[in-house]
Structure formats: C-alpha cells, structure tokens
Amino acid sequence: MAPLQSVMQIAVVGAGPVGLALALLAARRLPTARISVFDARPLDRDVGADPRTLALSLGSVQLLERLGAWPAEAAAAIRRVHVSQAPAGVTLGQLLGHEAASVTLDAAELGVAQLGAVLGYGALLAPLQAAWLAAAAAEPQRLATRFGTPVAALKALVDGVEVDAGIAERFDLAVVAEGGVYAEQTRKALVADYGQTAWVGHATLAAGSGGVAFERFTADGPLALLPLPPPADGSERAALVWCVPSSADPVRDLTDAQRLALLRSRLPADAGELRALSPLKSFALGLNAERSLVQGRTVRIGNAAQTLHPVAGQGLNLGLRDAYALVDALQRGGNVDTALARVAWARAPDRWSLIAATDFLARSFTWRVPGAAALRGLGLAALQAVPPAKAALARQMMFGWR
C-alpha cells in the first residue's frame, strides 16, 4: 500500500465550514496530496448572506486563525459564560439579589483573552471559501474546486472510494462533511428524537452585558443568549436559542410582543434589559450519530458524523476537531488504513463524552421527576464551589477532550 506522502487522492464532500477547514488544512500539511472539494451549492451563491449563528470555542478560533480564515472584525468574543438553573419558585438567593444555582466561567480567571467567539455562518464561510479558492488558484494541478456538483453516491472499493458526481471517480479517501439539520438528515446508527423544538433568532438588549454568554436551564428546556457584534446604534445584540417541548410549545402561537414578555420572564437578571426580538425560526432537535467516524475509506466529520442537541453549543467545534485529527493522522505517515484506525480511536473519547453529556441534558428536560431542576441547580452550585473542576470544564469546552 502506498505511503501517505505519495500522491494521495482525497475527496471532500461538503464545502461548509468543517469541509473547507479540513481541505485547507490538508492542502497545507499534506503537500503532495490531490484534494477535490465537492458541493451542490453553486460557486456564485452569496454565502455571506446566510443568517445562521455559530458559537466557536477558543481552540476553533485558534485553528481558523492559523488557516488565515478568521474574520475577527465580524465576531464577538465570549469573555464569560454564565449557566444557571431557573428556580421553580422564588428562592432566598433571588430575594438577596443573586443566583445561587449557577456557575460562571471567566476568561480572565483562566488566563486567556476569550473563551470563544460568536459570529454569523456566512461571516465565517465567506473567508474560508475565499482562502480555499486562493489556494486552488495557486495550485490548480493539485487542488480542485467542484462547486455546483452534487455527489450522488459513494461506493466502497478495496483500496479506496468511488465518488459518483455525474462521473464516477476513484479516490483513496472520501471525507463527508455535508451536515444539514436533524429533521432533514438520513438516519444514522444512533438516533433519538428529543421531542423538542429550538426557536432561533436575534435579541436586542440594553448595553451592559457585552461579551457574556448566558445559558438558562428552564422547565421547558435550555435557553441561550450569545453575544454578537454590536450594531451602530450602541445597543447590544445576542443570538437566541430557545428550546421548548414540541408537543406543548409555549412559543409557537404567541405574538412577537408576547414572545418578548415570556422570554424576559425566563432570563436571569444578569442578562440585562431585553428590548426586542427578531422573527424566530424553528428547528426540530434530536441526536443522529454514527458509531464511528470511519467506515472503510470513508470518513464522516462534523454534523455528517454526529448531530447533537445545541445545549452545549459544541457541534461545530467537535467537527473542527474531527478535521484536525484526521489531517494530523494522515500527516504522521504509514498507510491510509492505519491512519484512519488511529483517527477512529483518538476521536472516540471526545466524541462520546460530548454525545453522552448532551444526550443526558436533553433528556433531563423531558423528565417529570420531582426535584430534577433542583438537582441540576445543585450540580451547578457545586461546580461553582470547586474551582479545579470548573477550570477543567472550561478547558474541555475550549479545546475538547485531551
């Protein structure tokens, strides 16, 4: 079997953030590999207009900086994360003006400038795509761009993968990075429908809480406000992810004014004054995961390998770590199959710890067990009281399982 540093043919299926990051990293660190990026999206589509919001960990920001594709001016730094449990009733802590059932992760306490950052999907995808197109233009014999070319099928071969994108072509390795949302995906080996809906949009707040990401555990489900770059009027904007039960959705039938009032009642006082909400869009939530990233010579990364509940906001970060680990294993040498086995083994702890944690939290909001909310709150308070445990959690949120 040929060594990795000979001419290896790699197909990357999906030109979203994870696929493009992998392609750029492979182009730099595997200088003899030939890399083709396929995507059904036409090249002339305006990717900068995509309104979705992404939360990136510090490790992801650092990777994108090294790739020369981090748009710092379009991102809002997360300098503190505040996680709290909403009480079932009025507590002594509230009467005294503070939240007892909460934990705060602070970048300054951890010796870093930021814990991560938040930006629009289009704001991230545009520089990644520009960087890839520039690399492909500089090395057209080695790097190929196949936009507007949907991949119809992948066929396993003894020593590679046949990629059918109108014409069947053989590659040594196919990396699938086409994710999509849970409701539209083909079901994988592990599936759980949480019976929950995420309402997403933007909120406008009075100035005062910039750089803080809030996550609130409510009776309906988790609720998150993530900082965004401020608009010109001096107010503050935040991305909203509001998870509720689908069968008894308290948000769906409300007017904009009613949604705003309900959201105000759900948030902690530290979040500040909520002034307005954008129109909200809804998405069904569930777990859809492969048992392994590797199946023969096909590797699935990002949402193509595991679509998670957004309670921890780690889906994209997990995908970028998948991409980094794959390229790192290929760069180490040996043969392709040995490298892929190394990836499957190395990524398992990070993948399964996050899959298990998000699955447990997502299911916990469906339990109608007396005291469940109190137990979550007690866990947060205990974590806040043990600085080493809190620091360990912060490091895992920033860099994944190491």
Three-state SS annotation for 279-296 = CCEEEEEEEEECCCCEEC
Share of the chain above pLDDT 70, in %: 92
199 and 276 assigned to the same domain: yes
Provide the residue range defining the domain that includes 383.
Answer: 72-119+190-285+365-399
The secondary element (H helix, E strand) that includes residue 387 is: helix 387-399
205 and 146 assigned to the same domain: no
CB atoms within 10 A of CB 232: 5
Q: Is there a domain that residue 241 lies in?
A: yes
Q: Which amino acid is at 19?
A: G
CB atoms within 10 A of CB 178: 21
Q: Which amino acid is at 233?
A: D
> From residue 81, how far is each of 59, 245, 270, 272 by CA, in Å?
16, 25, 12, 14
Phi, psi for residue 336 in degrees, rounded to 5: -60, -45
Report whether pLDDT(386) > 60: yes
pLDDT band at 333 (very low <50, low <70, confident <90, very high): confident
Model pLDDT for residues 5-20, shown as the tens digit of each residue: 468 999 999 999 999 9
Residue with tokens 């904007």: 237
230 and 180 assigned to the same domain: no
182 and 197 assigned to the same domain: no
Alpha carbons 278 and 273: distance in angstroms, whole number? 15
130 and 112 assigned to the same domain: no
Q: Is 153 exposed, middle or buried (0-12, 13-18, 19+ CB in 10 A)?
A: exposed
Model pLDDT for residues 243-262, shown as the tens digit of each residue: 999 999 999 999 999 999 99
Is 197:369 a contact under the CB 8 Å cutoff? no
249 and 146 assigned to the same domain: no
200 and 181 assigned to the same domain: no
Q: In angstroms, what is the C-alpha Rg of the chain? A: 22
Report whether pLDDT(122) > 80: yes
348 and 304 assigned to the same domain: yes
Whole-model pTM: value is: 0.91
Contacts of 294 (CB under 8 A, 6+ apart): 340, 341, 343, 344
Report whether pLDDT(51) > 80: no
Q: Is there a domain that residue 59 lies in?
A: no
- Stretch among 92-106, 316-330, 348-362 having the lowest mean pLDDT: 92-106
163 and 44 assigned to the same domain: yes
pLDDT of residue 327: 97
211 and 263 assigned to the same domain: yes
Report whether pLDDT(60) > 70: yes
Alpha carbons 56 and 53: distance in angstroms, whole number? 10
Structure token digits, residue 258: 């009613």
Alpha helices (H) along 249-335: 256-266, 315-331
pLDDT of residue 370: 66
Task: Provide the domain count of the chain.
Answer: 2
Q: Is there a domain that residue 67 lies in?
A: no
98 and 126 assigned to the same domain: no
We report the CATH number of the domain holding residue 221 as 3.30.9.10
255 and 341 assigned to the same domain: no
